Amino acid sequence: MTTTTKELRDQVLAARAASRELARTSTAVKDQALANIAKELTAREKELVEANRLDYEEGKSTGLSETLLDRLLLTPDRLRELSRDVLSIAGLPDPVGETFDMRTMPNGLQIGKRRVPLGVIGAVYESRPNVTIDISALCLKSGNGVVLRGGKEAIRSNLALARLVQEAIDRAGGPANAVQFVESTDRALVEEMLHMRGLIDLLIPRGGDEFIRYVAETATIPVVTGGVGVCHTYVDLTADMDNAVAIAYNAKVQRPSVCNALDTLLVHSEIATRYLPQIGRAWGEAGVEMRCDERAYEILQEVTGARVVRAKDSDWGKEFLSLVASVRVVDGIQEAMSHIETHGSGHSEAIITEDYSLANTFLEQVDAAAVFVNASTRFTDGGQFGLGAEVGISTQKMHARGPMGLKELTSYKWIILGKGHIRP
């Protein structure tokens, strides 16, 4: 089925009209809709896995990369996890209507803020079908309409999921039209969405580096960009060795295809001969290829089982999304932070240290959405940060930074209560 410009516009207008109703829908109805979604995600497991199998097989036959295939896959386990995420969103407090910062000015005027939905969110994303659920659920709870445009490679999975969401809202007595899924995968429609000023209040693009750059340079509607994570972990001289090995291993190996996985390991020169062989052996067993600067190469090439090559210039500041890491030996925190400033994407950066002052310096001076001390960058995630889920991870500073949950999908209005106040 092909969506035309006219149909896209109609869908956006339908989401817009429904969003006005959703903005005033009670928390109880919204939570019931979420409970329905959670239930159906497991109840319709067979149907969903089957739709996904067709996408997956087509992806495989058209040569989709392992990374993209992994992102595309829906298993019963992943569906159960998704279902739990949706339930946890239902359990979070409703952000809409919260009144805060209320105070009485010297002239007796009461002034405060009341939280309101943004309006209509546009989401343009690639292979991961779970995004359809995460974004729908967060928009629903935060009272926003949403226009979803998923990737071609997940079209059957997405259609099945979007239908499930609409039916779940409808059964709860909410405005099902608030969630619209654009069936066409024609790229021209994305370009149109990027210029729908006054119709789409915020666009969230999720995808690779190139796609995000295209959106950022093209859009004339408000956009929150992010998702591209070139993540560094710096192991200082003062690191606890066991922590440093466990964290770098986890950050690279636990799920290499995602944005918060480690890309570059920076190691203090005075600890390199002790630390690198340990992480080199562990990574080697896990199949991690290490692209090393000269000093790291000299140490690691001696390590049995380590898969070592010399790094090219393009291996710094690169998001690998696979079992590859670049490794560099530095002479201290200043060199590490300057490497991060040059090559980081402002996503997630970590230091491993037992030194109080160094930890503070890193927290203060590194400019990224998430700055870690003694923890794996894999924690940068809406669920892990207590937001229930995320519509995306912002690497810009405007509006929201890092994982975006319910609050990040809202705005506020000032409310001013007077007793006949006039300005002198």
Answer for which of 21, 81, 186, 240 binds a second copy (CB under 8 A) is 240
Burial class (CB in 10 A: 0-12, 13-18, 19+), 294: exposed
Please say which residue, 308 or 351, places its beta carbon nearer to a second copy.
351
Stretch that binds a second copy, among 58-66, 176-184, 286-294, 376-384 (CB under 8 A): 376-384
| Residue 416 touching a second copy (CB under 8 A) | yes
Residues 146-205 that bind a second copy (CB under 8 A): 197, 201-202
Distance of closest approach, residue 293 Cβ to a second copy, in angstroms: 26
Answer for which of 78, 84, 114, 281 binds a second copy (CB under 8 A) is 114
Token pair 């210029």: residue: 195
Within its chain, how far is the Cα of 183 from the centroid?
Answer: 23
Answer for which of 26, 75, 218, 334 binds a second copy (CB under 8 A) is 218
Q: Is the separation of the CB atoms in 124 and 26 below 8 Å?
A: no
| Residue 375 touching a second copy (CB under 8 A) | yes
| Residue 415 touching a second copy (CB under 8 A) | yes
Residues 44-103 that bind a second copy (CB under 8 A): 103
Token pair 């207008």: residue: 13
Q: Which two tokens stand for residue 400?
A: 């929201």
Distance of closest approach, residue 88 Cβ to a second copy, in angstroms: 12
Q: Is the separation of the CB atoms in 175 and 52 below 8 Å?
A: no
Residues 310-369 that bind a second copy (CB under 8 A): 359, 363-365, 367-369
154: CB partners within 8 A, 6+ apart:
52, 55, 72, 126, 127, 128, 129
Answer for which of 24, 60, 274, 310 binds a second copy (CB under 8 A) is 24
Distance of closest approach, residue 84 Cβ to a second copy, in angstroms: 15
Residues 291-320 that bind a second copy (CB under 8 A): none
Q: Which two tokens stand for residue 277?
A: 């062989």
Give the phi and the psi of residue 314 in degrees, each rounded to 5: -75, -5
Write the DSSP assignment of 187-249 as a string of letters: HHHHHHHTT-TTT-SEEEEES-HHHHHHHHHH--S-B--B----EEEEE-TT--HHHHHHHHH
Site residues (CB under 8 A) for a second copy? 24, 103, 105, 109, 111, 114, 116, 118-119, 197, 201-202, 216-220, 222, 240, 242-243, 246-247, 249-251, 254, 359, 363-365, 367-376, 378-380, 384-386, 396-399, 401-403, 411-423
